[in-house]
Amino acid sequence: MTASSSPKIASDSAGDRSSPSVSNFIRQVIDADNASGKHGGKVITRFPPEPNGYLHIGHAKSICLNFGLAKDYGGVCHLRFDDTNPVKEDIEYEDSIKEMVEWLGFSFNDKLFYASDYFDTLYAFAQHFIERGLAYVDSQSADEMRVNRGTLTEPGRNSPFRDRSVAENLRLFDEMKRGLHADGAHILRLKIDMASPNINLRDPAIYRIRHTEHHRTGAKWCVYPMYDYTHCISDALERITHSLCTLEFEAHRPLYDWVLERLVESGKLPAPNPQQIEFARLNLSYTVMSKRKLLELVEKGYVDGWDDPRFWTLAGLRRRGFTPASIRLFAERAGVSKAHQWIDMGDLERALRDDLDAVASRAMAVLDPIRVVIENYPEGQFEPCSAPVHPHDESRGKRDFKFAREVFIEREDFMENPVKGFFRLVPGGEVRLRHAFIIKCERIEKDAAGNVIAIYATYDPATKSGTGGRNVKGAIHWVSKLDGIQAEVRLYDRLFNVENPDAGEGDYKDYLNPNSLKIVNAWLEPSLANAKVDESWQFERNGYFTADRKLSRPGALVFNRATTLKDGWKPT
Ligand code: ATP
Ligand code: MG
């Protein structure tokens, strides 16, 4: 399975950010519910991350969908931490999740919830299931339980503990809670049907013993509720109307409904229940999405932390220079579907270009500098030049820089033996320095190894930009040594060499791209001296760049290239 065999998403709605979202099967359900008055016209969604990792671009899709639908329908979206597993969860993850949801442009204000806040209720409901004969304490070993669970083709077998009395179950469950039993000694299971064709209904476990402190409830509990049981009840307690989740939960939906229907039946919860609706996960080419793998890449140092700019975590994308608007645009274009979705990394970059073209300030930066000496321009003088901050918005004013005797141009803008159709600088040829003069290459200087180390040129004083003089075919960017600033610039490539690192013969790490980071010393025009970390710039002809929020220091900015200007990426 590769991204290239998958349907492309249309990019032609560029910039059309105010258009009402296209209809989809989830909207159709909501529209029908609103028409029938099922939830009294309310729309309450939730985004339910487990605080066991950093959010990635796949989560962004879910966030944009849940918060976006709530916004469109005049409803609300809850941020709920599904913090039922004390072993893997951490406050660091929680903080980063809140930060990234807000960064994406969504607010949860007073709508911040924690599954752990429902632990008392969840426990009381579990007792209620026991009292109704719908749950029992199982004391089989993990191995016995696995064997007795059956397979996709064979039914499971009832546990020998399945018919324990209500009183015994209540006593054991209480002992579990009081810490009298070791991890794994007992679990609490719903009594549904060990022969069900749906394995999720074969007496699913709903409580297990874990003698571990929880980052929010401390040492209060040593029994913790399982995800499936917790999730549906949390949704119902918050009066969620539409509970959107990814497709792998489709087979869990009967359990979701089973639990809630019984609690409504006995008046523990009000009707109607939330409706679970599944949609396809987002997969992005050249990435892996599994949290376990992301954690491994971080812990083993294949990337430089969760916010490495090559990473598709939201923290990484932000640091790289992706804007919240570009990610929302990308998520909107990706749409929602029931079919597995592979989206090309190029689509994410296109969304950024489409967002930034109209807004990013322009600047010139030379990433691979070669020195040009203008021999007929006197030393110690300069010629003031300027260019618009944005070519289509005069109101944003001009940026100033100085043409002088020594300037830098891009090494690739010079060719000693030019190929046909090369209109930039060549020996004896002319080129325009953007926003300045036409120069002519008179001769070049090489080092012992034959590399060009300097170009000697003359300029034509009658050709200053904007004065109506003659023109030539090529125009290149430049920075003058007199007022330019030097800075480290980081250029990124895909972290993996293949579209689907999970699909290969070997381990996904075998496909890491060893050349995913290139660091260069660039010359930048002076307006970039005051760049702020959250600003995006278009470096003319070179792409979109942002000052790195982690590495930049006052007077020593480090820039990241978020993307090139064109979609020219090819696997190396
Ligand atoms: P885990 O395997 O740990 O459950 P997860 O990626 O599902 O990993 P969660 O914290 O449970 O992580 O995810 C929060 C929400 O984001 C869930 O509703 C989940 O369905 C959704 N989500 C996660 N990955 C994607 C994805 N690739 N595309 C769309 N939604 C996703
Ligand atoms: Mg999950």
Centre of ligand 2 from the C-alpha of residue 104, in Å: 20
Q: Which DSSP string corresponds to 235-285?
A: HHHTT-SEEEEEGGGGGGHHHHHHHHHHHHHTTSSPSSPPEEEEEPPEEET
Question: Is 473 in the active site?
Answer: no
Closest among 332, 428, 321, 433 to 377, alpha carbons compared: 433
Query: Does the CA dihedral 364-365-368-373 come out positive or negative?
Result: positive
- Of 88, 210, 281, 464, catalytic: 281
State residue 469's pLDDT score: 84
Report the alpha-carbon distance of residue 298 to residue 294 in Å, rounded: 6
The pLDDT of residue 91 is 87
Q: Of 418, 429, 397, 409, nearest to 541 (Cα)?
A: 409
Please tell me the distance between residue 47's alpha carbon and the centre of ligand 1 in angstroms.
9
Give residue 310 CA to ligand 1 midpoint distance, Å.
20
Mode of pairing for the β-strands spanning 536-539 and 517-524? unpaired
CA–CA distance, 478 with 526 (Å, rounded to integer) = 12
Place of tokens 């930039």: 424
Report the candidate in 262, 30, 294 with the shortest Cα–Cα distance to residue 132. Answer: 262
Nearest ligand for residue 82 CA: 1
State the sign of the Cα–Cα–Cα–Cα dihedral 504, 508, 514, 518: positive
Distance from the Cα of residue 162 to its chain's centroid: 45
Instruction: Please state, in angstroms and rounded to a whole number, the distance separating the CA atoms of residues 261 and 372.
Output: 77
Q: Which ligand neighbours the alpha carbon of 291 most closely?
A: 1
Identify the pLDDT of residue 9: 37
Helix axes 324-334, 345-356, angle to 10 degrees: 130
Structure tokens at 491: 């250029």
Tokens, residue 302: 């294949």
394 CA to centre of own chain = 34
Residue nearest to atom 26 of ligand 1 (CA): 58
Atom of ligand 1 at shortest distance to CA of 283? 27
Catalytic residue among 291, 440, 541, 549: 291
For residue 400 the two structure tokens come to 């100033």
CA 187 to chain centroid, in Å, comes to 37
Q: Cα separation of 441 and 443, whole Å?
A: 6
CA dihedral 351, 352, 355, 358 (to 10 degrees): -130
Tokens coding 236: 């119902």
Closest CA to 495 of 330, 294, 338, 321: 294
The helix (H) or strand (E) run that includes residue 370 is strand 369-374
Q: What does the DSSP 8-state code read for residue 188?
A: E
Ligand with an atom nearest the CA of residue 55? 1
According to DSSP, residue 199 is labeled: G
**Ligand 1 site-directed mutation target among 47, 62, 93, 500, most atoms within 8 Å of CB:** 62
Half-sphere exposure of 217 (CA within 13 A, CB side): 20
Tell me which residue has its CA closest to atom 13 in ligand 1: 49
Q: What is the 279 CA–ligand 2 centroid distance (Å)? A: 13
CA distance linking residue 207 with residue 230, whole number of Å? 10
**Protein residue with its CA nearest to atom 10 in ligand 1:** 49
Residue nearest to atom 9 of ligand 1 (CA): 49
What string of DSSP letters covers 403-464?
E-SEEEEEGGGB-SSPPTT--SB-TT-EEEETTS-EEEEEEEEE-TTS-EEEEEEEEEGGG-
pTM of the model: 0.92
Q: Which of 353, 294, 277 is nearest to 11 (CA)?
A: 353
Q: How far apart are CA 505 and CA 305, in angstroms?
A: 27
Residue 363 alpha carbon to ligand 2 centre in Å: 43
Q: What is the pLDDT of residue 51?
A: 93
What is the reported pLDDT for 570?
54
Closest residue by CA, ligand 1 atom 23: 59
Pocket of ligand 1 (CB under 6 A): 48-50, 52, 58-59, 61-62, 245-246, 281-282, 289, 291
User: For ligand 1, what atom is nearest to the CA of residue 55?
Assistant: 10
Is 146 in a helix, a strand, or coil? Answer: helix
Counting ligands in written order, which one lies closest to the CA of residue 289?
Answer: 1
Q: How far is the CA of 244 from the centre of ligand 2 (A)?
A: 12
Lookup: tokens for 425: 């600088």
| Cβ(478)–Cβ(366) below 8 Å | yes
First to last CA, the chain: 20
- Choose the residue to mutate in 101, 228, 246 for probing ligand 1, maximizing ligand atoms within 8 Å of C-beta: 246
Specify which residues 475 forms β-bridges with: 432
Q: What is the pLDDT along the chain (572 residues), one digit of tens a residue?
A: 333 333 333 333 333 333 445 678 999 999 999 999 999 999 999 999 999 999 999 999 999 999 999 999 999 999 999 999 988 878 899 999 999 999 999 999 889 999 999 999 999 999 999 999 999 999 999 999 999 999 999 999 999 999 999 999 999 999 999 999 999 999 999 999 999 999 999 999 999 999 999 999 999 999 999 999 999 999 999 999 999 999 999 999 999 999 999 999 999 999 999 999 999 999 999 999 999 999 999 999 999 999 999 999 999 999 999 999 999 999 999 999 998 888 999 999 999 999 999 999 999 999 999 999 999 999 999 999 999 999 999 999 999 999 999 999 999 999 999 999 999 999 999 999 999 999 999 999 999 999 999 999 999 999 999 998 899 999 999 999 999 999 999 999 999 999 999 998 889 999 999 999 999 999 999 999 989 998 999 999 999 999 999 999 988 999 999 999 987 655 44
- Contact predicate 176/135, CB 8 Å: no
The alpha carbon of 50 and the centre of ligand 2 are apart by a number of angstroms equal to: 7
Which of 27, 38, 42, 50 is the catalytic position?
A: 50
pLDDT at position 14 is 34
Would you call 281 a catalytic residue per the annotation? Answer: yes
CB burial of residue 231 (10 Å; 0-12, 13-18, 19+): buried
Report the Cα 356 to chain-centroid distance in Å. Answer: 18
Local structure of 57: helix, strand or coil: helix
How far is 416 from 450, CA to CA, in rounded Å? 11
What pLDDT, on a 0 to 100 scale, did the predictor assign at position 23?
75
